Structure 1
Amino acid sequence: MKIVHVVEPFASGIAVFVKTLVETMSEDVHIIIHGERAEVTPFIQVKQQFRQSNVRFIRWRSAQRSISFQKDSAAFFELYTILRRLKRKNLVDAVHLHSSKSGFIGRAVCNVLNIKNVIYTPNGAPFLVGTSGLSNFIYKQLEKFGDLLGGRVVCSSESEMDAYKKLGINASFVNNGIETAAFTTRKPANSTKLPGQFRIVTSGRIIDQKHPELFNQIAEYFRDFTQFEFIWIGDGPDKQLLYNKNISITGWLSHETVHDIVVSADLYLSTARFEGLPFAVIEALALKKPVLLTDCVGNRDLVKNGLNGNLYNTSDEAIIKILQYYNNNDMLEIMGNHSASYCDEDFNMHTSYIQYKCYYKSPISGIVQ
């Protein structure tokens, strides 16, 4: 099959998602039409992660994050030109749209070009993004209108699917997945953690969606306890909000180095306001880490009955759980083993992403969950 991916932004978790689809369906041809967010990850660095011979890249130069009638119109006509050319060359069996901007513009273009086999994966419901009720209302209306243009909404987690169904949009879901064997067989690197130190880590871009203020607030309680260490792996425009002395910000690191730090940690902490289904947390599960996650869309799919961690709603709840983990250190290994088992069962790309193959082949009667 010839699968066309339309991606804006082509960075972070979405890049991992597309890369995993390409690896899982190695016998198919993947054409990636992409924007670029150089301030997050330059395209050249993203491209280096795609080592397969079955992938081609086409730059979508006018695609950008913010809503702008003029710029979005330019992005529409550019994408129209690209997809029309590919369709004429018989290079479009299915179109997979990734994230809300690609989803809206892409469905409009496919509607005009009469391309029927279209899948839209939000990777984080946009109507949960807004910092005000008005912005969320606008995003909801845009999602409803986009749904009228055609295509199938396939979310990356069950809780994200539920959010769309509450909006009146018919949706299904396929869990994000990773190559779990590559993590479970991984040997720990030499750790810089001091004896008796309790290391708490998170990973991702330091932006409002990840709620760095909450991370800082939790760390503040422990600032006079030298045995507690907080590490934020990543960088971003809101890093000034992580000002407590017991927080270290690493900046962007290689995947291997990120995994080394997570392996050395006692606990993976997420303070996100919402997620699609975060790869950083899935990888932490595979690396046998207990997880403490905000009770939000995307996160709540990754905690199983408290066996591998817990959900929380306030900083006080998180602090109490951290103290419980610290005072019951033996249970962390048990919870970590549950994490790895749960990850292999539910977030293994070889069993999860094969469902996309069914959607690509059968857009009308595909899998309904």
Structure 2
Amino acid sequence: MKKIKIAHVLHSVGGVDVSLRLILENTNPTEFDNIVIHGISDTKDFFYDKNRNLVKEYKVPIFRKIAIVNDFTSIVKTYRIIKKEKPHLIHSHSAKGGVIGRIVGILTRIPVVHTPQAFSYLSSNSTIKKAVFLWIEKLLSKGNSILLASSKSEMDRALNEVGFNKENVVLFNNAIRPIVVIDELAIKKTWPENYICTVGRPSYQKNIEFMIRVLYEIKKTTNIHLVVMGVGPVSENLDSVKSLIKELDMSTEITLLNWTDRTDVFNIINGAKFYISTARYEGLPYSIIESLALSIPCIVSDCDGNRDLIKNNFNGYLIKENDTLDFKEKCIKLLNDEEIHIELSKNAKKSFDKDFNILKNIIYLEAIYQKQSDLKYKKSHK
């Protein structure tokens, strides 16, 4: 049987990078052949398939920020790669990967499956920027692309705000492998045993400043430490976060960690009292899926992505955005009530096993790839 060749186009950082690697490492290599087109400075790690064979990769100047020259160059270079490799399908990931991949898909008439991992227009607090980004999404939704939503919330936005036709939207929840082994920390542990944690670069999206203010209220009655993982070079709100920590005199209550291996992330989440997120929006956050897999309850803002993973009073708590008092009360409750903590922990694992185990779910993605490739074959033989 001839393999289906898929070209993945993306800026390979954070959850987008995790998502791609999980896809590559779990799809059947006897049925699918993958290549990766990504940024020249986003990741230094190689990509592997399920058999631990290297996946062919190309690097083009894909960057997070809009840069006309780099973006145009990326489109031209990606077009040339696609013409050379002749894939049956393009899978674009993230906002920038989606723009490049879908434009190239239109130019080459190759169908595109696009996964936003949170729509670009959600990323700005500027009304004008939001309108521009939404217009771009609306424009590209009219091409030869299928929206592969990473959560029900993302699917609903695709239908109700971006304007995708219902037949062009498919849901495939982000998912991971069960975490059966917890490796020792590869980094030095500098924080106390009694802590909570989060994963996310200081940014408008992650709303870390609000999280710090919640912790400030908690510490008035309860002693707890916060570990923030994922503080990297694209943390545009890092100075604001550090300034607030200094202003509130909380340097001994908060640890900011740079990007680290996922095995370290698992270790830190596994030792936490609970996971916390104050994000304004998400795709379907891997850090929360990982928490569920590790039986760690979560206290999170009621936003896209978070609400698709956490069921209030079952595997954690959903809190309205910027509701400091409710966040504080639920955090203190989960820290002090062992019986409730045990119940939410058990349900966290149940949630993962039911809906977010990629070993069970990968067949659905493979079927989507197969269907979109079959549609291409049918169209080309008309």
- TM-score normalised by length of structure 1: 0.88
Which has the larger displacement, 287-296 or 223-232? 223-232
Q: Distance in 2 between matches of 1:82 and 1:49?
A: 20
In the alignment, is the contact (CA less than 8 A) between 1:270 and 1:293 conserved in 2? yes
Task: Please point out which of 171, 175, 189 is paired with 1:177.
Answer: 175
Q: C-alpha deviations, 1:132-186, integer Å up to 9, x for none? A: 1111111111011101121100110001111111122132210000002xx1x33
- Residue aligning to 1:44: 44
In the alignment, is the contact (CA less than 8 A) between 2:199 and 2:229 conserved in 1? yes
Q: Give the 3 Å change call, closer, same or farther, for CA 66–162 of structure 1 in structure 2.
A: same
- Residue aligning to 2:367: 358
Written as runs of structure 1 = structure 2, the 5 A alignment for 1:142-153 is: 142-153=136-147
In the alignment, is the contact (CA less than 8 A) between 2:297 and 2:345 conserved in 1? yes
Question: Given the alignment of the two structures, is residue 233 of structure 1 paired with residue 229 of structure 2, yes or no?
Answer: yes
Q: Give the 3 Å change call, closer, same or farther, for CA 252–106 of structure 1 in structure 2.
A: closer
In the alignment, is the contact (CA less than 8 A) between 2:21 and 2:48 conserved in 1? no
Question: Given the alignment of the two structures, is residue 221 of structure 1 paired with residue 217 of structure 2, yes or no?
Answer: yes
In the alignment, is the contact (CA less than 8 A) between 1:289 and 1:336 conserved in 2? yes
In the alignment, is the contact (CA less than 8 A) between 1:278 and 1:299 conserved in 2? yes
Written as runs of structure 1 = structure 2, the 5 A alignment for 1:124-163 is: 124-163=118-157
Q: C-alpha deviations, 1:71-129, integer Å up to 9, x for none? A: 32222111111111111xxxx1221111121212211111111213x201101111211
Q: Distance in 1 between matches of 2:137 and 2:368?
A: 21
The one-letter code sitting in structure 1 at the alignment partner of 2:342 is: E
Kindly state the Cα deviation for residue 68 of structure 1 after the two structures are TM-superposed.
3.3
- Residue aligning to 1:26: 28
Paired-residue identity, %: 27
Question: Given the alignment of the two structures, is residue 252 of structure 1 paired with residue 247 of structure 2, yes or no?
Answer: no
- Residue aligning to 1:59: 59
Task: Please point out which of 339, 351, 375 is paired with 1:342.
Answer: 351
Q: Distance in 2 between matches of 1:107 and 1:290?
A: 38
SS at the partner of 2:37?
Answer: strand
Kindly state the Cα deviation for residue 224 of structure 1 after the two structures are TM-superposed.
4.5
- Residue aligning to 1:7: 9
SS at the partner of 1:97?
Answer: strand
The one-letter code sitting in structure 1 at the alignment partner of 2:170 is: S
SS at the partner of 1:65?
Answer: coil
Task: Please point out which of 296, 309, 316 is paired with 2:316.
Answer: 309
The one-letter code sitting in structure 2 at the alignment partner of 1:127 is: Y
- Residue aligning to 1:35: 39
- Residue aligning to 2:19: 17
Structure 2, unaligned runs of 5 or more: 376-382
Q: Distance in 2 between matches of 1:19 and 1:304?
A: 27
Which has the larger displacement, 335-344 or 107-116? 107-116
Q: Distance in 1 between matches of 2:106 and 2:231?
A: 38
Task: Please point out which of 193, 196, 199 is paired with 1:200.
Answer: 196
Task: Please point out which of 342, 346, 352 is paired with 1:333.
Answer: 342
Q: Give the 3 Å change call, closer, same or farther, for CA 49–204 of structure 1 in structure 2.
A: farther
- Residue aligning to 1:109: 104
Q: Give the 3 Å change call, closer, same or farther, for CA 299–72 of structure 1 in structure 2.
A: same
Q: Distance in 2 between matches of 1:322 and 1:225?
A: 11
In the alignment, is the contact (CA less than 8 A) between 2:6 and 2:91 conserved in 1? yes
Question: Given the alignment of the two structures, is residue 283 of structure 1 paired with residue 278 of structure 2, yes or no?
Answer: no
Q: Distance in 2 between matches of 1:232 and 1:79?
A: 35
Q: Give the 3 Å change call, closer, same or farther, for CA 29–364 of structure 1 in structure 2.
A: closer
Q: C-alpha deviations, 1:291-315, integer Å up to 9, x for none? A: 0111111110011242000111222
The one-letter code sitting in structure 2 at the alignment partner of 1:84 is: K
- Residue aligning to 2:181: 186
- Residue aligning to 1:324: 333
Q: Distance in 1 between matches of 2:336 and 2:67?
A: 52
Written as runs of structure 1 = structure 2, the 5 A alignment for 1:256-271 is: 256-271=263-278
In the alignment, is the contact (CA less than 8 A) between 2:9 and 2:90 conserved in 1? no
Q: Give the 3 Å change call, closer, same or farther, for CA 291–79 of structure 1 in structure 2.
A: same
RMSD: 2.4
- TM-score normalised by length of structure 2: 0.85
Structure 1, unaligned runs of 5 or more: none
In the alignment, is the contact (CA less than 8 A) between 2:149 and 2:170 conserved in 1? yes
Q: Distance in 2 between matches of 1:253 and 1:64?
A: 21
In the alignment, is the contact (CA less than 8 A) between 1:11 and 1:37 conserved in 2? no
Kindly state the Cα deviation for residue 348 of structure 1 after the two structures are TM-superposed.
0.7
Q: Distance in 1 between matches of 2:276 and 2:312?
A: 17
Q: Distance in 2 between matches of 1:249 and 1:297?
A: 25
